[in-house]
Structure 1
Amino acid sequence: MSGSPSAPAVGPATDEAGYPSPFVAWTMVAVLFLAYILSFIDRMIIGLLVEPLKADLDLTDTQVSLLQGFAFAIFYTVMGLPLGRLIDRSARLPIVAAGVGLWSLMTAACGLAGQYWQLFVARMGVGVGEATLSPAAYSIISDTFPQKRLGLAMGVYGLGSAVGAGLAFLIGAFIIELVASTGSVVLPMVGEVRAWQATFLIVGLPGLLVAGLFLLLPEPMRQGAAGQPADQVQVPISSVLDFARRRAGAVMGLCFAVAMVNFAVFAAVSWFPVFLIRVHGFTLTQAGHLAGAALIVGGLIGLVGGGWVTDRFGGGTPAGRLAFCGYAGMVGTVFAVIFPLVGNPLVAAAAFVVFFASAAVPIGAAASALQQLTPNRMRATFSAIYLFIVNLIGLGAGPTATALVGDTFFPFDTGIRYAITVVSPISFAVAAGLFLMSAAYARRPMAV
Structure 2
Amino acid sequence: MSPTDATAAPAAPAGDGYPSPALAWAMVAVLFIAYIFSFIDRMIIGLLIEPLKADLGLTDTQVSLLQGFAFAIFYTIVGLPLGRLIDRASRMRIVAAGVAFWSVMTASCGLATQYWQLFLARMGVGVGEATLSPAAYSIISDSFPQRRLGLAMGVYGLGSAVGAGLAFLIGAVVIELISTAGSLTLPLFGELRAWQATFVIVGLPGILIAGLFLILPEPPRHGAATATPETQAVIPISEVWRFTLTRAGAIINLCFAVAMVNLAVFAAVSWLPAFLIRVHEFPLTTAGHFAGGTLILGGLIGLIGGGWLSDRLSGGSASGRLAFCAVTSSIGTVFALIFPLVGHPVLTGIGFTIFFASSAVPIGAGASALQQLVPNRMRATLSAVYLFIVNLIGLGLGPTAAALVGDTFFPTPDGIRYAIAIVSPISSLIAAGLFFLSARYTKRHESA
Same fold (TM over 0.5): yes
Matches within 5 A, 1:152-167: 152-167=151-166
Aligned equivalents of 2:111, 2:218: Cα separation in 1: 36
The amino acid that maps onto 1:43 is R
CA apart distance, 1:224: 1.1
CA apart distance, 1:447: 12
Equivalent residue number for residue 346 of structure 2: 346
Equivalent residue number for residue 302 of structure 1: 302
TM-score by structure 2 length? 0.95
CA pair 207-231 structure 1, distance change in 2 beyond 3 A: farther
Larger mean Cα displacement after TM superposition, 99-108 or 232-241 = 232-241
* RMSD between superposed Cα atoms in Å: 1.6
Equivalent residue number for residue 178 of structure 2: 179
Equivalent residue number for residue 207 of structure 1: 206
CA apart distance, 1:45: 0.2
Equivalent residue number for residue 10 of structure 1: none
Matches within 5 A, 1:390-409: 390-409=390-409
Larger mean Cα displacement after TM superposition, 15-24 or 342-351 = 15-24
Aligned equivalents of 2:19, 2:138: Cα separation in 1: 14
Q: 8 Å contact 1:16–1:146 — kept in the other structure?
A: no
Matched, 1:418 2:413: no
The amino acid that maps onto 2:385 is I
CA apart distance, 1:312: 1.3
The amino acid that maps onto 2:405 is V
Aligned equivalents of 2:46, 2:346: Cα separation in 1: 20
Query: Secondary structure of 2:445's match?
Result: coil
Q: 8 Å contact 2:182–2:193 — kept in the other structure?
A: no
CA apart distance, 1:182: 3.2
Query: Secondary structure of 2:222's match?
Result: coil
Q: 8 Å contact 1:406–1:419 — kept in the other structure?
A: yes
Deviations 1:228-272 (A, max 9, x none): 679952100011000110000001110000000000000000000
Deviating 4+ runs (over 3 angstroms): 227-232
The amino acid that maps onto 2:41 is D
The amino acid that maps onto 2:206 is G
Equivalent residue number for residue 43 of structure 1: 42
Larger mean Cα displacement after TM superposition, 225-234 or 157-166 = 225-234
Aligned equivalents of 1:230, 1:218: Cα separation in 2: 24
Q: 8 Å contact 1:80–1:132 — kept in the other structure?
A: yes
Matches within 5 A, 1:122-201: 122-201=121-200
Equivalent residue number for residue 246 of structure 2: 246
CA apart distance, 1:188: 1.5
Equivalent residue number for residue 8 of structure 1: none
The amino acid that maps onto 1:167 is L
CA pair 345-23 structure 1, distance change in 2 beyond 3 A: same
CA apart distance, 1:227: 5.0
Equivalent residue number for residue 9 of structure 2: none
Aligned equivalents of 1:163, 1:429: Cα separation in 2: 25
Equivalent residue number for residue 12 of structure 1: none
Q: 8 Å contact 1:264–1:394 — kept in the other structure?
A: yes
Aligned equivalents of 1:86, 1:184: Cα separation in 2: 43
Aligned equivalents of 1:244, 1:376: Cα separation in 2: 14
Aligned equivalents of 1:440, 1:432: Cα separation in 2: 13
Aligned equivalents of 2:259, 2:116: Cα separation in 1: 28
CA pair 84-255 structure 1, distance change in 2 beyond 3 A: same
Q: 8 Å contact 1:89–1:230 — kept in the other structure?
A: no
Q: 8 Å contact 2:258–2:362 — kept in the other structure?
A: yes
Aligned equivalents of 2:427, 2:45: Cα separation in 1: 23
The amino acid that maps onto 1:47 is G
Q: 8 Å contact 2:65–2:400 — kept in the other structure?
A: yes
Deviations 1:340-391 (A, max 9, x none): 0000001101100000000100000000000000000000001000000000
Structure 2, gaps ≥5 residues long: 5-13
Q: 8 Å contact 2:182–2:194 — kept in the other structure?
A: no
Percent identical:
73
Matched, 1:64 2:63: yes
CA apart distance, 1:183: 3.3
Aligned equivalents of 1:322, 1:175: Cα separation in 2: 40
Q: 8 Å contact 1:90–1:230 — kept in the other structure?
A: no
The amino acid that maps onto 2:115 is Y
Aligned equivalents of 1:299, 1:30: Cα separation in 2: 16
Matches within 5 A, 1:236-385: 236-385=236-385
Equivalent residue number for residue 85 of structure 1: 84
Aligned equivalents of 2:404, 2:244: Cα separation in 1: 34
Structure 1, gaps ≥5 residues long: 6-14
Query: Secondary structure of 2:191's match?
Result: strand
Aligned equivalents of 1:111, 1:426: Cα separation in 2: 35
Aligned equivalents of 2:335, 2:418: Cα separation in 1: 14
TM-score by structure 1 length? 0.95
Deviations 1:72-118 (A, max 9, x none): 00000000000000000111100000000000000000000000000
Equivalent residue number for residue 9 of structure 1: none
Aligned equivalents of 1:93, 1:227: Cα separation in 2: 22
